[in-house]
Amino acid sequence: ETSALLGGPVPRRWRPWCWADGGHWQRAGTLVWLCLGYPVLVLAHGLVCVTAWLLIVLIPVAKLSARTATRVLLLPSERVLVRRLKMTEVPLEGEVILCCYRAINPYYYKYAVDGINVFAVNLLPLVLVTLVLGYVDSHNHLTSSPVKFTLALLSIMPLSYYIGMAIASISAQSNFAVGAVVNATFGSITELTFYITALIKGTREGNRCYAEIVKSALTGTLVGCVLFVPGLCMVIGGIRHQEQRFNSRSAGVSSALLFLSVGGVFAPTLFSKVYGKLVCGECHNVTQNPLGHYLCHNCHFDLMENNGTLYYSHVQPLVYTVSLLLPAAYLIGLFFTLKTHSHIYDIHISGCHMPGHHHSAVVHWSRWRALVILLLSTLCMSACADLATEHISPILTNSTISQYFIGVTVLAMVPELPEIVNGIQFALQNNLSLSIEIGNCIAVQVCMLQIPILVLFTIFYPTNFTLVFSDLHVYASMFSVVLMNYIFMDGKCDYFQGTVLVMVYFILLAVYFFAPSPSGC
């Protein structure tokens, strides 16, 4: 500190031991100390600093070790006094190098560095390690493909956090139109980067499994954000608060958008089920009678009959129409919630009135700094997504688990972990409306932005992606949306209703786990 804490004389500002302060022997002692003693203690304090910082609950210990290495160890010996002080004793000539309330505290997980959560700061070196290992060790001499895939997937978490922070900062300093465009453009960049790189890789290898994995990840994100995210927030928030209330009108708007988006996304699938021809791979006569019963396997609806007349003349135009209408409906919903009817989202928390909703972002960085961080995070995200798709092939080939399950769990929910943590924090603050809005907004973006962008991408770069989902995806998504709408009708909930949502989500995961792998994998 450069000034006295409670008034009085200003303490002398510290400075390293100067060569001119003493004679020949003092300068010689300084040289010996800097060469022999100082490096050893700096190394010891550095290890303690890094370890305590990574543990997070010991952040003051890390800061104390850093201040010791940079300040105390450079002071002259006569200015350093080590002794035990009583609680009421104040040193007559002392200098404050660190003030902290507690040396260890579990709530230090909220600690932020320049507006960035400490977890995101600690995971940033993981991104560098992933990129170096992925592109330097291309032949897997140092690590295997599953390790690189796991590292790439974990690196997406801090990058998605940085992208969200940059979007929030830019939106808070811009008008409605710019904020809406930035949210709509970069809000789903994390998932879209992975999906597009996976589709490109599947097209180059001629492997249809990548397209099925992308569909599974899309469905898993939708189901997880509709069931798991709000359900988990209800359970954790319900443990602290006996009953939680939320804005039923805002939840009703989100539910209407979800019904519209799910109906539009699965319309081509239902159309193909009605008008497509059922084709089976192999059939066996059970009764040995030509007119008896047949048991068939690997059945699917063929859309390419008669040179694909049904698909190219009927299904594909329907897909393009839906892909244009859904983003238009999303923009109308943004205009409705942010401009004309923003009063619907006025939130009451613990008896106090808080206007606005989670779109009212806090400015963490300047506009240009946020833009630079957004672009750099997007580039790193593209590189990590490329590495993940590059090293997912052995996992899909050698794994005994269904590719459906890998898509709806790992690939779908890992990028959403920062949003899940935010939702839990809001629920603990008895602000369940924001927790529900987080899950609903992600689910709406999946249907109204991500899927139409993937469809329009196939126009410029033909891939194996078609907007025709399996029956399991259709039933799971529709049932999830209906159940969520039923739970949210009365505007209040408790931990039991959250448990129902979470249990239904795990039941669906069990269905995907035991389901056979999709055709083409």
How far, in Å, CA of 414 to CA of 418, rounded? Answer: 9
Residues sharing a CB contact under 8 Å with residue 11, sequence separation 6 or more, in sequence order? 1, 4, 93, 94, 95
| Beta-strand runs (E) in 46-187 | 112-113, 116-117
Cα 392 to Cα 213: distance, rounded to the nearest angstrom: 11
DSSP assignment of 309-342: HHIIIIIHHHHHHHHHHHHHHHHHHHHIIIIITG
pLDDT for residue 507: 93
Which amino acid type is present at position 251?
A
d(CA 396, CA 354): 48
Pick the closest to residue 512 from 150, 259, 297, 224 (CA basis).
224
C-alpha to C-alpha distance for 41 and 244, rounded to whole angstroms: 53
Cβ atoms 193, 506 nearer than 8 A: no
Cα–Cα dist 389/408, whole Å: 16
Write the DSSP string, 167-202. HHHHHHTS-HHHHHHHHHHHTTHHHHHHHHHHHHHH
Q: CA 419 to CA 427: how far, in whole Å?
A: 12
Sorted by where each starts, the structural domains of the chain and their CATH numbers stand as 22-109 (no CATH), 112-351+362-514 (1.20.1420.30)
Tokens in use for 146?
A: 């599953």
Contacts of 17 (CB under 8 A, 6+ apart): 30, 74, 75, 76
User: How many CA atoms, within 13 angstroms, populate the side-chain half-sphere of residue 117?
Assistant: 18
> End-to-end distance of the chain based on CA atoms, in angstroms?
64
Decide: 199 and 226 in contact? Cβ < 8 Å: no
Q: List helix spans (H) across 336-416.
A: 367-390, 393-398, 403-408, 410-413
Which is nearest to 501 in space by CA: 521, 473, 474, 482? 482
Structure tokens at 443: 């689910």
Q: Tens place of pLDDT for every residue, the chain, 521 residues?
A: 344 444 455 545 445 444 445 555 566 777 787 888 888 999 999 999 999 999 888 888 898 898 888 888 887 766 666 666 665 555 556 666 667 678 888 888 888 887 788 888 888 888 898 888 888 887 777 888 888 888 888 888 888 788 877 877 776 776 555 655 566 566 677 778 888 888 888 888 877 888 888 888 899 989 988 888 888 888 888 887 777 777 677 777 778 888 888 888 898 888 887 776 666 666 766 666 666 666 666 666 655 555 456 777 778 888 899 989 988 888 888 777 777 766 665 543 333 333 333 434 455 678 888 888 888 888 888 888 888 877 877 777 777 777 788 888 888 887 777 777 777 777 777 777 777 777 788 888 888 888 999 998 988 888 878 888 888 898 999 998 888 888 877 777 778 888 889 999 999 999 988 887 766 56
Nearest Cα residue to 488 out of 503, 500, 472: 500
> How far is it, in rounded angstroms, from Cα 4 to Cα 112?
27
Q: What pTM was estimated for this model as a whole? A: 0.72
**DSSP string of 414-453?**
GGGHHHHHHHHHHHHTT-HHHHHHHHHHHHHHIIIIIHHH
> What's residue 44's pLDDT?
93
Angstrom distance (rounded) from CA 378 to CA 331: 23
Contact 264, 283 (CB under 8 A): no
